[in-house]
Structure 1
Amino acid sequence: MVTTNEQRKEHWIRRYRTTLIIGFFLLIFFIAYIKPWPYMLYGAGSAEPVHSRVETGHKLEEKGALLFTTVSTYSNPNIFSIIYARINPRMEVKSQEEATSGATNINAYRNLLAWMRDSSEANALLAAYTAMKKPIDVKEQGVIVYALLPESKARDNGLQEGDIITNIDGKEARTVKVLTDYLTTKKPGDKVKVSGTRGDNKFEATVPLINMGTGTSSRTGIGFQNDTVLKVTAPDPVKFDFADTGGPSAGLMMTLEIIAQLTNDDLTRGFRIAGTGTISADGTVGQIGGINYKLMAADKEKADYFLVPYDPKNPSNWTLAEKTVKDLKLSPKLVKVSTLQEALDFLKKLEFKA
């Protein structure tokens, strides 16, 4: 009996069929495991003492702890991580575009977050020294590109979110007012050359101007939301260690820690006080994102209280915080704070924990 090549091939396939099937599925699994997807995963982050991250040159022994809270984020996950996050009630999946609010690219978004963190530190110093009625030195450093408007042509011509503009057409422009005043001398369609810093690097971009607003409020501009970058120098040797974080939401807790150390007053009163919220120079506490995940982190670290940013006109943070505590049966007691003074009043009225 003669065995043909086709018969030998068929025999080989039958003999190794199981191995081939397993190998095929392993290959598919490997490809799925290494392939990144343009999504961002959100979950509970950390609740850490802010005490070790703020130095003022003044020693203070805290019986409890002021805890700043974070959200855990994971970009470009694989399909398995996405599926897990979809079915996990304590996680969330967002497209990268939604998560970054349409930022030009992920590096631009990270530069913006880094500026938010630095700005939060500056505002924490301003708010703390204002509350203590102490003088502090402030200098303008540039104009941050906070968000590019949809009608702006700047993105297509090299400007990104997170860029800090320091010069325009060769002239120094370190405040929003100086930049705006110069642009009012131009007309839509004109081009200006802006330069400054992009993260750790320098940048230049030539961008066309557009007409912004209507009627009497019409003006010429680049088309972006902006803010003045401040360099704040305290009379005390205050140092921050938040390089591994991004965003502005630790502002309130930073400010409380500065005041506690410089006034030698243990504001914790022996409790574990977690919280979140942006801080303005005037002491206004602003709302933040991901408060549900921050509450989960605070609960895991056995926080007694959680300071929640509260805006009576839009109490979204408070509403979500109440829902999260109820649905997940979390232990921290919620405290509304609209201003730094309200947070201080609450903490100073606490009796020391036995």
Structure 2
Amino acid sequence: MASTNRLGIRRYRTALLIGFLFLLFLFAYLKPWPYMLYGPGSAESVHPRVETGHKLDEKGALLFTTVSTYSNPNIFSIIYARLNPRMEVKSQEEATGGVTNIKAYRNLLSWMRDSSEANALMAAYKVMNKPIDVKQEGVIVYALLPESKARENGLQEGDIITHADGKETKTVKELSGYLSGKKPGDKVTVSGTRGEEKFEATVPLIKMNPGNRTGIGFQNDTVLKVTPSDPVKFDFADTGGPSAGLMMTLEIVAQLTGEDLTRGFRIAGTGTISADGTVGLIGGINYKLMAADRENADYFLVPYNEKNKANWTLAEKTVKDLKLSPKLVKVSTLQEALDFLKGLAPKKT
């Protein structure tokens, strides 16, 4: 009888242990951690994502590249990424640059994408010597300064300010001009859009240095509405950030001029684009190169700055260490990218 009881207790104990381990596993699987995982994203043709009303038969492809990101992963995903030489783990604060929250970070990335599309249009039309209509539509909160009191009073990165105390302030000049008539400690109610929603926040003003100006305390940029003479449409809603700018611009130029810039090659690349055609540095170029290699890209356009060669140095190291196949091409401006592509002899098939 005693032996039977001991056997029953052991079975009960085993069942309890199994149940406890299952719950522990479930907790570990479901619990999110404040980290961001990075890895190779996609390298896909920009052609179907840009419509201009002009048909173009491309023999090759212009590929825009992305970084795969995953926020709030569980512990198993973190361990996998730590062990994977082609992935990286960053704290959420490091990954977002200390932005107020993930939603604000995503709103900021969405604006960066929209701004990139606007700059791509302006750069493309400039290089083709065609006129384009540009209007200022608001002031984006790009980054809040450490001394600002705006964050604790409801303002977030990614907010687009269009009014101050009910007065329309759609340009940086209009907003700063209105605030210049006030003094530090005064409060101003700013309103506008936060992603797809409207927002309003009443924030105290501070003394801005240098210049002893009165302001809210944030880095800003202007939100632009660009209207081209051609019916250009973009389809990048599933992406964020500005790094597809160069490849968007090349595709616009190709379609509107009717010239197949690919010459039959698969040309991948990355880089921000400014309205004047300057190509800017980006992050995650190593992961974008991995994606381009996976999609059999022949060339990869790398943003290059003589004073900051970080993108080029990392690109060279990645290609060497991982034995990737795309040939690297330095580009500092849109014109340099166009000159390279137009100088390619058509690919032999």
Aligned-partner Cα distance in 1 for 2:5–2:300: 69
Deviates more, 1:8-17 or 1:334-343: 8-17
- The code of the aligned residue for 1:177 comes to K
Offset at residue 168 of structure 1 (A): 0.6
Distance, in Å, in 2 between the alignment partners of 1:252 and 1:173 is: 31
Range that drifts further, 179-188 or 90-99: 179-188
Residue 231 (str. 1) matches residue 225 (str. 2): yes
> Where does the alignment leave 5 or more consecutive residues of structure 2 unmatched?
none
AA at the equivalent of 2:72: N
Alignment of 1:19-58 (within 5 A): 19-58=15-54
* Aligned positions of 1:158-173 closer than 5 A: 158-173=154-169
For 1:254, which of 248, 251, 261 is the aligned residue?
Answer: 248
Name the SS for the 2:103 alignment partner.
Answer: helix
Residues 1:269 and 2:263 aligned together: yes
- SS at 1:335 equivalent: strand
Q: What SS does structure 2 have at the residue aligned with 1:344?
A: helix
Q: Structure 1: how far apart are the matches of 2:310 and 2:146?
A: 26
**Which of 106, 109, 114 is residue 110 of structure 2 equivalent to?**
114
Rounded to whole Å, the distance in 2 between the matches of 1:351 and 1:9 is: 85
- Percentage of pairs with the same residue: 82
Instruction: Give the whole-Å Cα distance in 2 for the aligned partners of 1:189 and 1:309.
Output: 43
Unaligned runs of 5+ in 1: none
The equivalent position to 1:301 in structure 2, one of 295, 306, 314, is 295
SS in 2 for 1:293: helix
Aligned pair partner of 1:242 in 236, 242, 253: 236
Structure 2 SS opposite 1:243: coil
Following superposition, the deviation at residue 13 of structure 1 comes to 1.9
In 2, distance between residues paired with 1:91 and 1:13? 47
Residue identity matched to 2:32: P
Query: Partner residue of 2:305?
Result: 311
Q: Structure 1 stretch 181-190 or stretch 306-315: which is displaced more?
A: 181-190
In angstroms, what is the RMSD of aligned CA positions?
1.2
Distance across 2 between alignment mates of 1:104 and 1:9: 59
* Cα distance change of structure 1 residues 153 and 8 upon mapping to structure 2, 3 Å threshold: farther
Deviations 1:238-268 (A, max 9, x none): 0000000000000000000000000000000
1:193 aligns with 2:189: yes
Q: Aligned partners of 1:205 and 1:52: how far apart in 2? A: 40
Q: Give 3-state SS (helix, strand or coil) of 1:63's partner.
A: coil
Equivalent residue, structure 2, for 1:74: 70
TM-score by length of structure 1 reads: 0.96
The CA distance in 2 between the partners of 1:326 and 1:9, in whole Å, is 67
Q: Which of 69, 77, 80 is the matching residue for 1:84?
A: 80
CA distance in structure 1 between the partners assigned to 2:328 and 2:148 by the alignment? 42
Distance 1:18 1:280, change over 3 A: same
Show the 5 A alignment for 1:150-229. Answer: 150-214=146-210, 217-229=211-223
CA distance in structure 2 between the partners assigned to 1:186 and 1:8 by the alignment = 86
Task: Give TM-score scaled by structure 2 length.
Answer: 0.97
Question: Partners in 1 of 2:9 and 2:333 — Cα distance?
Answer: 73
Choose the corresponding residue for 2:284, options 290, 302, 309. 290
Which position in structure 1 is the counterpart of 2:134? 138
Separation (CA, whole Å) in 2 of partners of 1:180 and 1:20: 66
Partner of 1:330: 324
In the alignment of these two chains, the number of paired residues is 348
Deviation at 1:24, TM superposition (A): 2.2
The Cα shift of 1:8 comes to 7.3
* Residue of structure 2 in register with 1:101 after alignment: 97
1:306 is paired with a residue whose SS is strand
